[in-house]
Structure 1
Amino acid sequence: MSDTPEKHIKPAVKTALEMGPIFAFFAGYIALRDHVFTIAGTEYSGFIVMTALFIPILAASTFVLWRLTGRLSAMQIMTLVLVVVFGGLTIWLNDERFFKMKPTMIYLMFGGILGVGLLRSKSYLSLVLGEVMPLDVEGWRKLEFRMMLFFFGLAIANEAIWRTMTTDTWVKFKTFGLPIAMLAFFMAQSGLMARHSTEVADEDTPE
């Protein structure tokens, strides 16, 4: 899917498709968290029911995003796969812990991929974000190292929160905490991006 030329869509539409399923899960969980549903003789909590609804919602939004843009990032594809796998285990075993582990697996996987890239002196991140953030080789190396640590930190945070705090706290952390942490991380890298931007070098070069 990544080989298809990307079509441009409005940023608001892209953001809605990417974040919509997450906020839908949050709203649905808040509405159903105090309910227990009996299906085929088995009782399911509101969390389990919303997990079952979240899977097709995310799949549909991902499909629409692909149809509109002509491509999906590796992160979007892996996220969908892990949601299906861990969401499916959650429903099948009627155990919400599996879905709570899903962000941990995602961030460990991304952190591991960046770590492998650093060891091999290959910039995997630049393949995904190169057009958005044109950086020199040193800039990508520094950013990838920081992102690797950041992803590992998010994995640790997710494990600590779901294992020691309430489901309500974890849902709020997943819905609001993780996106805010991601935004804060990239804002904190503004200095690095400015110092290592290749656009600056191009503008300073006489025609």
Structure 2
Amino acid sequence: MKLLIDFFPILLFFIAFKFWGIYVATGVAIAATVVQMVWLRMHHGRIEPMQWLSLGVIVVFGGATLLAHSEAFIKWKPTVLYWLMGGALLVGQLVFRKNLIQRLMGGQMELPEPAWRAMNWSWIVFFSIMGALNLWVAYEFDTDTWVNFKLFGGLGLMLVFVVAQALYLSRYIKDTPDNAKDPLA
């Protein structure tokens, strides 16, 4: 259910774009993100910092798109979000010597320090590439292609990346007595 809520604004943006164009879709994305935040607050009691960041970016870039009547701003929004997330991970690692991926996920799995470091750097590289790829699609192709890429290409690449990362990390996951099965049972 949380996954559906996370992709709710993107899906509504896509649908609104197909029926009414980029400006209506931008307004729908802003409204859907606000609704998403209200829902998360009511059902989970707290909103993650990255969700606040996402709200701020869609309001600023979506608002600029509507005020300036220029689709360039909304096309920059995914890149700005990707680069801010990658930048936060990079600054955390290099400046503060904190692995933010480990801080976010450390309670869910145990990994050796080199694996956490590799995971953090892989996300930094992934976000950097996704930001550049978004700009390339936005400026080398028409808006319809960019919107399709934003939904299907972006999500598809994220899925491939997460699966590849899971395969890499699987060598570090240890069976515990709770989840290990007796082969003779």
Q: Provide the identity percentage.
A: 33
For residue 82 of structure 1, the aligned residue among 44, 47, 57 is 57
Whether the aligned pair in 1 keeps the contact of 2:16 and 2:28 (CA below 8 Å) is no
Q: 1:160 maps to what in 2? A: 136
Q: Distance in 2 between matches of 1:98 and 1:148?
A: 23
1:195 maps to a residue whose letter is R
Whether the aligned pair in 1 keeps the contact of 2:89 and 2:101 (CA below 8 Å) is yes
Whether the aligned pair in 2 keeps the contact of 1:138 and 1:196 (CA below 8 Å) is no
Q: Distance in 1 between matches of 2:150 and 2:51?
A: 16
User: TM (normalized to structure 1)?
Assistant: 0.79
Q: 1:105 maps to what in 2? A: 80
Query: Any idea what SS the aligned residue of 2:98 has?
Result: coil
Q: 2:182 maps to what in 1? A: none
Q: 1:140 maps to what in 2? A: 116
Distance 1:134 1:64, change over 3 A: farther
2:143 maps to a residue whose letter is T
Q: 1:63 maps to what in 2? A: 38
Residue 202 of structure 1: CA displacement? 5.4
Whether the aligned pair in 1 keeps the contact of 2:12 and 2:25 (CA below 8 Å) is no
Unaligned runs of 5+ in 1: 1-12, 33-45
Distance 1:146 1:130, change over 3 A: same
Whether the aligned pair in 2 keeps the contact of 1:17 and 1:62 (CA below 8 Å) is no
Q: Distance in 1 between matches of 2:28 and 2:158?
A: 25
User: TM (normalized to structure 2)?
Assistant: 0.88
Residue 196 of structure 1: CA displacement? 2.9
Q: 1:130 maps to what in 2? A: 106
Deviations 1:171-193 (A, max 9, x none): 01111111111111010012332
1:18 maps to a residue whose letter is D
Alignment partner of 1:149 is 2:137: no
Regions of 4+ moved over 3 Å: 131-134, 201-204
Alignment partner of 1:48 is 2:36: no
For residue 172 of structure 1, the aligned residue among 144, 148, 158 is 148
Q: How many residues align?
A: 177
Q: Distance in 1 between matches of 2:38 and 2:111?
A: 31
Unaligned runs of 5+ in 2: 179-185
Alignment partner of 1:15 is 2:3: yes
RMSD (CA atoms): 1.8
